[in-house]
Amino acid sequence: MEVRLDEPWPTTVAEAVALQERLRHRVSAVDSRPGPVRTVAGVDVAYDRDSSRIAAAVVVLDYTTLEVVQTSTALSTATFPYEPGLFAFRELPAVVEALRGLSVDPDLLVCDGHGLAHPRRFGLACHLGVLTGIPTFGVAKTVFIGEFAPPATRRGSWSPLIVDTDVVGAALRTRSGVKPVFVSVGHRISLDTAREHTLTLCTQYRLPETTRQADRLSRTTLIEHTGPDGSGAT
């Protein structure tokens, strides 16, 4: 699939923050994709513990059966500083390269991370959605910003994630009696629809199948190319 980077990629924290401020106004939290979702892609990145090597993975699933349709990976070196709120600038170059390896354009993208639940309302899911134009949302394992009341214990229960007076996401129970995940809008999708998709994609586990598959593939790819000790392919 085609993904364009129209602006020079930031190399400093100030440049990255400025880009987020410029692009965040493009985000739409309204459902804008006509027709049913047939394919959904999960995106994740694995980091080597002993170097700056990273591996990005994209796994496209059939939305109905959750069977794998296509995968793509990319290896890269993370050159941007480790800075909370700016992880997209470490990860997106590799993610974009992996997306470019797909021969199909997925109908929906799911990130292991946040979207509007971000200090500047422009997390990884927002950035990726704006770059691709594909409806995108984030499902994170932990809270980055915001307050929430614990949702009821049954599957499907949720409570709003709030910053000041703004609802920036949802704490969603994907399995009864298991701690919630945190869903937030990325682009071209509403929070209600993002929650519904998350439940559909969480059939047996706390995390969406998209995330589980992409996480596994990114880790496997990194080990295959760096070795378990980071010393090179085995």
Provide the token pair at 76: 């890269």
State how far the Cα of 135 lies from the Cα of 170, in Å rounded to an integer.
17
State how far the Cα of 97 lies from the Cα of 109, in Å rounded to an integer.
15
Beta pairing class for 158-163 and 68-77: unpaired
Q: Is 136 helix (H, G, I), strand (E, B) or coil?
A: strand
CA 69 to chain centre: 19
Residue 112 is labelled as binding a ligand: yes
CB neighbours of 135 closer than 8 A, spacing ≥ 6? Answer: 31, 32, 33, 107, 108, 109, 129, 186, 187, 188, 189
Helix (H) or strand (E) holding 182: strand 181-187
CB neighbours of 180 closer than 8 A, spacing ≥ 6? Answer: 150, 151, 158, 171, 172, 173, 174
Q: Tell me the β-bridge partners of 47.
A: 54
Residue 44 is labelled as binding a ligand: yes
- Which residue positions form the known binding site? 44, 112
- Which residue positions form the known binding site for Mg(2+)? 44, 112
